Amino acid sequence: MFGQSPGPVPPFQRGARGDRPTGLRRGFHPLWWSWLLSALWHPIALGGTPWYQPSSLPLNQTVTERLTERDSPTGEGGYSRDYRLNLQAGDQILLELHSEDFDPLIVLIAPDGSTLGANDDGPAGTTSALLFARIPETGIYTVRARTFGSRGVGAFRLTATRLRPE
């Protein structure tokens, strides 16, 4: 009884060695294949563009945009949109975010992902966010235009001004 084989295994169920039934092996889940295939067919793996791709923010120009439900959710009921800004060490910049539709919050994120500054309060009586910053190192910074609180869609104007003479 003990140590005896339960009988021959049909050929269609034999493993690679011919004696072990095929099927799930310890530590392997069938959904693993779907994850592997989706990772291989990801646009970046094929040389395409990534899903997260912030727009470039030109210095000393105003960008007029609109936050919608298709932008990144903030987790507080609002939305945000990111912009890339190439800055040099020693630059002094002024970031202005203005909206009549929502309470704006502006965030400056360093190349290493740390928050360099954030502000949601502009001059008294306005719906603007102003942020002054001195840039510590050369690199590509992220400017995040987002809502403060739960109201979260609408038109906005964003300006990045270099205060250091060129």
pLDDT at 10 over 60: no
Domain ranges of the chain: 55-162
Residues 158, 65 contacting (CB under 8 angstroms): yes
pLDDT, residue 42, reads 47
Out of 2.60.120.380, 3.40.50.300, 3.40.50.2300, 3.30.450.20, the CATH code matching 55-162 is 2.60.120.380
List pLDDT tens digits, range 137-150.
Answer: 999 999 999 888 76
Q: What is the pTM of this model?
A: 0.67
Mean pLDDT of the chain: 76
Classify each residue of 3-39 as buried b or exposed e, where b means 16 or more C-beta atoms within 10 Å of its C-beta: eeeeeeeeeeeeeeeeeeeeeeeeeeeeeeeeeeeee
pLDDT at 72 over 70: yes
